Chains A and B, each alone.
Chain A
Amino acid sequence: MKYLVISCISVLVLLSSQAGSAQEVLQWSGADRSGVFQETGLLKSWPAEGPALLWESADIGNGYGSPVITRKNIFINGEIDTVSYLFALDLSGKFIWKSKIGKEWTLSYPGSRTTPTIVDDLIYVTAGWGQLACLETQTGKERWSVNMMSDFHGAVPRFGFSESVIVEGNTVFCSPGSADTNVVALDRFTGKINWISKGAGEMTSYCSPMIIRLPQRNILVTFSKSTMLGIDTKDGKLLWSYKQEGQDVDCQCNTPLFENGIIYCVAGNGNGAFKIKLSEDGTQITEVWKNGLCDNLMGGFIKKNNYIYTSGYEKRQYYVVETNAGTIVDSVRFDRGTTNMADGMLYLYNEKGQVGLFKPDGPKMEQISSFKVTKGTKAHYAHPVICGGVMYIRHGKALLAYKITK
């Protein structure tokens, strides 16, 4: 009987975790912010005209932020008449509610620029002029909000606040970017300050952070203007920093990746692709290599085995970087843009609006299929999201849902 109960619980836990991983994307760039979506059974090639468009929601406001997906709903933010709204849709793209967040960015590259973060029944979202709000997912009712400029003396970077905030335990982290209030940890239920870090005292950049979990401590890894920061999540102590070289270096958009004691990132406005070793206790770093030729600015990167797949910026092409020495071992012409992975395949969405399905094959990447996104407005910058067999692509005011299973 005891064994039966344990077996049943194990099966339930297994089923629950599988369903959760396959049918929900609750924050920026997948469960661990690595750009990889935990999906299976996806198409290995597409028809010439692309996968079937299931539906289109054409009025989500201007923006570049990606959606998050629960088992019932889709949440995405957009700008309408200078105001940032968070929209809740059902899984067929029908609107359920919308809530005002604050003033949205309307200068260069106008529109919303962040992806919401969901934890349980609360959702956290940032607008371009620094408003960070916590809302109830069910109703859109605001629980609390802060403004990174007026409440924390933050300085708005030249393309607006663009951080998709991260939550750990009861804490949500944000980066106002002032000299004394650089990175802030807030109680996620009340918005009250847990700690303030001076970081490197620089203006914030555009990075959506990640968290390294070690036995000794957890580390928030993010970027300010020209510096990657490692901050202890418990007390805000700056453990280490990693400077990006070059003049006028201020666009640090990509989320770093941690794997087996190593931090990888591609900083298009600075050191390019780089690999640094983290000490066991997380308090020190050592640069292993950097490669300035691999200069992806904001499209993210994917690491699989010993290779990084990402696009260039100055040269409009994609690269494969070997991770032992940091050498570019292949380049593929597919303009420049985002890189994601699901079910062993690479999903590329370039600035010309082409979506490519590529097979990563060690030092090579092979194009299998592609199609062009013809609906929507403005620039093709938003990172796709893959969840429950559906590929969600935001193109300005339009959210498009493509069926990528049989």
Chain B
Amino acid sequence: MKKSSFLAISLLLIMSMATAQEFSLDEILAKHSKALGYENLQKVSTVTMTGTLIQADAMPVKITRMRPDKFVMEFDIQDITAWQAYDGKIAWFTAPYTGNPKPQIMPEDRTKEMKTRADFEGVLMNWKAKGHTVELVGKDTVENSPAYKLKITKNDGGVEFLFIDEGSFLISKRLYNRISRGKEVPMENYFRDYRAVQGIMFSFTQDTHFGGQPYNSLQLDSIELNNPVDEKIFQMP
């Protein structure tokens, strides 16, 4: 009896030590890289995503990404097709629903946002080589799930926080500020419904809150890898 009690207590202690184990930043990033399937991502040159963007209406959306930093999103507002894109240098958009169908260059703060969004592998991969700074600033909870909170100071000076889920080691939330009418307003992206596509984990549902209120929801139906893509689609017409 004495022996079995000792064993049980030891086991509980080991288990509690394991759950309370603190990882270093490098360890968290290594686990994140493995959970994401980074090894497989390195074999991918293009990603094509299709689905629905729900922002008042539910409208079709298509996102195309290309290494190392090209991004274009084709989406509908009021059922009129608009584009947001980054070609590696210039971020541009169209807003035909405003009555102006001509492509326009994005303002500086939105260009920075698009540059981050266009990073094919994400800001965490090879962050040192990209000139970013990443710090582990503590733990937090994202919708009741514990998460590691990382502060990223990007090479352009912009700051954002990424939350790595403690269980899956996938990104569960991104937090940054967007300038709106002269004020900084928090933008929160919640990444849900991760599924594996050819050994790489993709979030199929991304819900965005703006100023604490639900803003839009990107719900993907399909993600295809290595489709042939013409680079011209990223360039401003």
User: Could you tell me which A residues sit within 8 Å of B by CB distance?
Assistant: 108-111, 316, 335, 350-353, 372, 377-380
Contact status A372-B221, CB under 8 Å: yes
Separation in Å of the A105 CB from the closest CB of chain B? 11
Q: Which of B48-78 contact A (CB under 8 A)?
A: 52, 54, 57-60, 76, 78
Q: Which of B3-24 contact A (CB under 8 A)?
A: none
CB pairs A–B below 8 angstroms (14 shown): A108-B79, A108-B80, A109-B78, A110-B79, A110-B80, A316-B58, A335-B58, A350-B58, A351-B57, A351-B58, A352-B54, A378-B79, A379-B59, A379-B76
A134 to B58, CA, bound (A): 34
Separation in Å of the A82 CB from the closest CB of chain B? 13
Contact status B76-A378, CB under 8 Å: yes
Q: Which secondary structure dominates chain A's binding surface?
A: loop
Contact status B97-A108, CB under 8 Å: yes
Closest 7 CB pairs of A and B: A351-B58, A108-B78, A109-B79, A379-B79, A378-B79, A352-B52, A352-B58
A110-B80, A353-B52 known, 16 other contacts, Cβ within 8 Å: A108-B78, A109-B78, A109-B79, A109-B80, A111-B79, A316-B54, A335-B58, A350-B58, A352-B52, A352-B54, A352-B219, A372-B221, A379-B58, A379-B59, A379-B60, A379-B79
Separation in Å of the B110 CB from the closest CB of chain A? 24
Separation in Å of the B168 CB from the closest CB of chain A? 25
Q: Which of B73-98 contact A (CB under 8 A)?
A: 76, 78-80, 97
Q: Select one of B54, B60, B219, B221 contacting A378, CB under 8 A.
A: B60
Separation in Å of the A247 CB from the closest CB of chain B? 18
Residues of B within 8 A of A378 (CB): 60, 76, 79
Which residue of B is nearest A379, CB measured? B79
Residues of B within 8 A of A350 (CB): 58
Which residue of B is nearest A376, CB measured? B60
Which residue of B is nearest A313, CB measured? B56
A379 to B54, CA, bound (A): 11
Separation in Å of the B22 CB from the closest CB of chain A? 40
Residues of B within 8 A of A377 (CB): 60
Separation in Å of the A190 CB from the closest CB of chain B? 36
Residues of B within 8 A of A352 (CB): 52, 54, 58, 219
A379 to B97, CA, bound (A): 15
Contact status B58-A380, CB under 8 Å: yes
Separation in Å of the A100 CB from the closest CB of chain B? 23
Which residue of B is nearest A335, CB measured? B58
A311 to B57, CA, bound (A): 14
Separation in Å of the A226 CB from the closest CB of chain B? 21
Residues of A within 8 A of B221 (CB): 372
A72 to B76, CA, bound (A): 36
Residues of A within 8 A of B54 (CB): 316, 352
A211 to B78, CA, bound (A): 32
Residues of B within 8 A of A335 (CB): 58
A351 to B51, CA, bound (A): 12
Separation in Å of the B204 CB from the closest CB of chain A? 13
0 or 1 for each of B22-61: is its CB under 8 Å from A? (1 = yes)? 0000000000000000000000000000001010011110
A109 to B81, CA, bound (A): 10
Which residue of B is nearest A377, CB measured? B60
Residues of B within 8 A of A109 (CB): 78-80
Residues of B within 8 A of A316 (CB): 54, 58
Q: Select one of A111, A353, A379 contacting B57, CB under 8 A.
A: A379
Separation in Å of the B77 CB from the closest CB of chain A? 9
Separation in Å of the B36 CB from the closest CB of chain A? 27
A338 to B151, CA, bound (A): 45
